């Protein structure tokens, strides 16, 4: 039974359901469907399933699925961040903080990591550490706004320089007879 079609680099592949829940790809073009791309699709499917469980409130199932993703790809940042948030939603703030710090190791200057850690620490009662991570989140957001996406470092420095003085105004101001007031008493000079 075919479940969907997917196009990758001009190749159309059909995904067939196999008895054990696994999927088999059949290429309907000249070359075979790239194995790496298929693994990425599978990983995205697993991540989507875990996020579905998270959004429906089935946090234990979501955590288990995110852990499977991390077992296969330890550097999967979004899964690590989602595990931390799942523990937070369950009310397990200590575990949320622990998992949040694992996400921080993957991307230390990511704004969302510090925002989440600030939230976790605040709920656990550690206001000082929460404020620290809140500040780190603000700093990360400012760093992200410092450089244009396609700018080189030299362009940013030029943009941040102080404004140069404008050209000097002309020395002699032109006559404006319509603004002259007649002398007091009506006498002309």
pLDDT of 10 over the 50 cut: no
What integer is the mean pLDDT of 100-112? 91
Q: Is 4 a domain residue?
A: yes
The residues near 37 (Cβ < 8 Å, ≥ 6 apart) are 8
Q: What percent of the chain has pLDDT over 70?
A: 57
Angle between helices 93-106 and 77-90 (to 10 degrees): 170
Q: How far is CA 122 from the centre of its chain?
A: 23
Low-confidence winner among 2-16, 73-87, 115-129 (lowest mean pLDDT): 2-16
For residues 3 and 169, which has the higher predicted lDDT (pLDDT)?
169
Q: CA neighbours within 13 Å on the CB side: how many for 40?
A: 7
pTM of the predicted protein model? 0.56
Nearest Cα neighbor of 85 from 119, 52, 56, 110 is 119
Number of domains comprising the chain:
1
Q: Is 71 a domain residue?
A: no
Q: Is 19 a domain residue?
A: yes
Give me the domain span that covers residue 27: 1-31
Nearest Cα neighbor of 67 from 94, 87, 91 is 87
Q: What is the pLDDT of residues 40-59, one digit of tens each?
A: 668 888 899 999 999 999 99
Q: Is 14 a domain residue?
A: yes
Q: What is the pLDDT of residues 156-168, one digit of tens each?
A: 566 666 666 677 7
Q: Is 16 a domain residue?
A: yes
The residues near 69 (Cβ < 8 Å, ≥ 6 apart) are 43, 46, 47, 50, 76, 79
Q: Is 7 a domain residue?
A: yes
Tokens found for residue 67: 């852990």
What integer is the mean pLDDT of 147-155? 58
Q: Is 25 a domain residue?
A: yes
For residues 10 and 14, give the distance between their C-alpha atoms in angstroms, rounded to a whole number. 13
Q: Is 10 a domain residue?
A: yes
Give the pLDDT confidence score for residue 142 in this predicted structure.
85
């Amino acid at each position: 039974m075919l479940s969907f079609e997917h196009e990758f680099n001009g190749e159309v592949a059909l995904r067939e359901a196999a008895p054990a829940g696994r999927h088999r790809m059949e290429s309907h073009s000249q070359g075979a469907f790239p194995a790496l791309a298929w693994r990425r699709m599978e990983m995205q499917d697993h991540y989507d399933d875990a996020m579905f469980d998270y959004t429906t409130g089935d946090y234990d199932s979501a955590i288990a699925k995110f852990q499977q993703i991390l077992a296969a790809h330890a550097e999967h940042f979004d899964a690590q961040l989602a595990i931390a948030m799942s523990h937070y939603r369950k009310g397990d703030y200590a575990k949320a903080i622990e998992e949040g710090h694992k996400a921080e190791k993957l991307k230390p200057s990511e704004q969302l990591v510090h925002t989440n850690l600030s939230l976790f620490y605040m709920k656990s009662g550690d206001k000082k550490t929460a404020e620290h991570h809140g500040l780190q989140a603000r700093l990360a957001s400012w760093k992200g706004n410092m450089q244009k996406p396609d700018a080189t470092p030299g362009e940013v420095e030029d943009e941040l320089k102080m404004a140069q003085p404008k050209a000097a105004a002309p020395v002699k101001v032109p006559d404006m007879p319509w603004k002259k007031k007649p002398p007091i008493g009506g006498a002309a000079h």
